[in-house]
């Protein structure tokens, strides 16, 4: 399923796992949990997995306690990485470009921050929502259902 994943990740410093992929597992999504589980396993086999505080906070809404969240996202599997200041600048510029192109305010700035984090730290991004990331971060290695 992810035959060329090792080659695609060779020049990346790891894989940032987007919250939508983690939600698939946490919620046992009938449509996406199998794909997300295989994608995470493939990425983990070939690289390190990362999350950031935005992803952590987005996923936290599915858990009653921090202990349950940490059990679902163990730090030895999903390495915590802080948000780089450079990513904040890049996220703001990409969001501004999005708004100038007519984008609505309903598109959350956190998505741009996640893409910028991956771009600045040379991380691949594992997500199901690739379109916006491809548009605003064209050099980013994106692992998504349409590109395996």
Flag whether pLDDT at 1 surpasses 70: no
pLDDT at position 92 is: 92
Flag whether pLDDT at 16 surpasses 80: yes
Burial of 63 (0-12, 13-18, 19+ CB in 10 A): middle
Residue whose entry in the numeric block shows the structure tokens 């491809």: 134
Mean pLDDT, rounded, of the chain: 92
Euclidean distance between CA atoms 9 and 11, whole angstroms = 6
Euclidean distance between CA atoms 133 and 148, whole angstroms = 16
State the pTM of this model.
0.92
Q: What is the pLDDT of residues 42-89, one digit of tens each?
A: 999 999 999 999 999 999 999 999 999 999 999 999 999 999 999 999
Flag whether pLDDT at 3 surpasses 70: no
């Amino acid at each position: 399923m992810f035959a060329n994943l090792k080659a695609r990740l060779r020049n990346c410093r790891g894989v940032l796992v987007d919250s939508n992929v983690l939600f698939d597992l946490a919620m046992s999504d009938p449509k996406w949990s199998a794909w997300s589980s295989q994608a995470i396993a493939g990425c983990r086999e070939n690289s390190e997995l990362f999350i950031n505080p935005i992803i952590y906070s987005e996923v936290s809404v599915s858990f009653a306690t921090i202990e349950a969240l940490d059990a679902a996202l163990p730090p030895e599997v999903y390495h915590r990485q802080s948000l780089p200041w450079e990513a904040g600048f890049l996220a703001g510029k990409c969001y501004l470009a999005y708004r100038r192109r007519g984008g609505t305010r309903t598109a959350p700035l956190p998505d741009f921050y996640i893409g910028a984090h991956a771009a600045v730290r040379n991380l691949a991004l594992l997500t199901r929502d690739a379109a916006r990331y491809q548009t605003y971060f064209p050099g980013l290695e994106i692992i998504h259902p349409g590109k395996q």
